[in-house]
Amino acid sequence: MIPQTVLNVLEQYKRRSPDVIYVLAVSGGLDSLALLHICAKLGETSSIQYHVATLDHGLRGQAGADDAAFVVQTAQQLGLPVTQHTADVPGYAAEHHLSIELAARMLRYDFLASVVQKVGQGAVVTAHHADDQAESILLHIMRGSGLRGLRGMQTISQVPGHTGITLLRPLLSVSRAELEAYCRQHQLVPRQDTTNADTTYTRNAVRHLIMPQLRVLNPQVAQALSQLAESATVDEAYLQAQFERDIQPHCQRTGDRIAIALSSFTTWHPAMQRRAILFAVGQLAPDSDLSHERILAAVDVANRGQVGQVSEFSQGWRMRVGYASLFFEHGDMALPLGDYVQMAHDVIEVVVNGRTPIAPGIGLHTSTEPHPTGFAVALPEGMELILRVRRPGDVVQPPGLFGKHRKLKKWLIDRKVPQHVRDRLPLLALSGSIKERIVAALLPDGWYYLAMQADTEIHHKTVWIWLEKEL
């Protein structure tokens, strides 16, 4: 019995949210008119509250306006409050470079979400039925969907693009033929939307051209597709539970950036790698739509682990490979500095026996007297200490190379210093009468010696150097 099926779903959700007001999405067509009539009758014998919402998409001129007026009049006759709105789907589609179908869907759900916000404790209820479900699953198959798509529509989910607003589909187990019989039984005369017969729209083509052919091969094709959806739902639920338990804790969010350790990601099964990418992008950009190809490309980039490589997603979001982590972020975001100090100026003269500001809140202290946390630098005659940023062609002589030179760039790469912080790293150098050379580089874990003392140099003094941060 259709009313009982609807009531079961609505009462189940009402137990979670006792004060809920159900926002009924009604177009005036057969499916939604049946839903409206059923809910109105249920409201006569229960405490369930309803609010009707109808949208004229601006696609059919006066016919669309007449449909909306019909819904308003019917709702008022049934004693139900109603909200009506007119959208400009063609204009929105052109402005945002969307198909008419997608633009209509987005504006429809935006409208329904706005009505929910208007009524307060609301949840959207739509009239999607078993035949709609079969068509949706077939569309997902045609697009090469994964398990999530094969699940089809869920009885209880969320309004697309509006996290936190519940969407109920209580008629998913009811066929269109059953709804037609209900309308005949109760002498309901639905509106006819002529665009539903236009097979230039993909869903209409599936409904009017493909599904009839499939029914020739299998008269129970709708039920078969529903069984596929049920199996996919069970499998998807299991995999999602595993993901939430074992993988999701590794996705660390800081502001609008999510980081995943490369050492963890590369050990995961490909199914979990793909889910991790979907999860990270979905958390940052809920409205993004990742294609299968982009997901596979991102997995490949991540597993190769080439530092600095980027995998682009939609709307400017991306995955960037760091030395130890994958970073999911927007391309406009400033890259994180971590604990790296960055020079405020290209060259700074170091004050001996004093403090030299390096960057905001950070000072370099020097003393000719030994200091317990300082490191010693021998200052030859005619030379002075400076702080500077790196320059093209810089070379260093780190310990262990027995006096051989090494390009500073290569040394920084070996130390896994991120590329975006290298240009302003503080380098301590000797400058003056003898050829300038870099003495040390400041990294997050301290200073690194990068020069050997020449035997012919006469030491003028020894200077102890240490950092202090202002609180």
217 marked ligand binding residue: no
Q: Residue 146, exposed/middle/buried by CB under 10 A (0-12, 13-18, 19+)?
A: middle
Beta-carbon contacts of 305 under 8 Å, excluding residues fewer than 6 positions away, are: 262, 266, 321
Q: Residue 298, exposed/middle/buried by CB under 10 A (0-12, 13-18, 19+)?
A: buried
19 marked ligand binding residue: no
Beta-carbon contacts of 60 under 8 Å, excluding residues fewer than 6 positions away, are: 67, 193, 194, 195
DSSP classification of residue 392: T
- Reading the chain (471 residues) residue by residue, the pLDDT tens digits are 899 999 999 999 988 888 899 999 999 999 999 999 999 999 888 889 999 999 999 998 999 999 999 999 999 999 999 999 999 999 999 998 888 888 999 999 999 999 999 998 899 999 999 999 999 999 999 988 889 889 999 999 999 888 889 999 999 999 999 999 999 999 999 998 888 888 888 889 999 999 999 999 999 998 899 899 999 999 999 999 999 999 999 999 999 999 999 999 999 999 999 999 999 999 998 777 788 899 999 999 999 998 889 999 887 899 999 888 999 999 888 877 878 889 889 999 999 999 998 888 888 999 999 988 888 888 888 889 999 999 999 998 888 776 688 899 999 988 888 888 899 999 999 988 778 889 899 888 888 888 765 554 556 788 899 888 764
CATH superfamily of 2-233: HUPs (3.40.50.620)
- Domain extents for the chain? 2-233, 251-330, 347-469
264 marked ligand binding residue: no
235 marked ligand binding residue: no
**Cβ distance 408 to 438 under 8 Å?**
yes
Write a three-state SS string for 166-226. Answer: EEECCCCCCCHHHHHHHHHHCCCCCCCCHHHHCCCCHHHHHHHHHHHHHHHHCCCHHHHHH
**Cβ distance 386 to 350 under 8 Å?**
yes
φ/ψ of 348, rounded to 5, equals: -135, 125
CA gyration radius, the chain: 33
Written as six digits, the tokens of 177 are 């033929």
For residues 393 and 389, what is the distance between their CA atoms, to the nearest angstrom? Answer: 12
Q: What is the pTM of this model?
A: 0.69
32 marked ligand binding residue: yes
**Cβ distance 400 to 388 under 8 Å?**
no
393 marked ligand binding residue: no
For residues 357 and 360, what is the distance between their CA atoms, to the nearest angstrom? Answer: 7
For residues 12 and 21, what is the distance between their CA atoms, to the nearest angstrom? Answer: 14
The CATH number of the domain covering residues in 251-330: 3.30.465.60
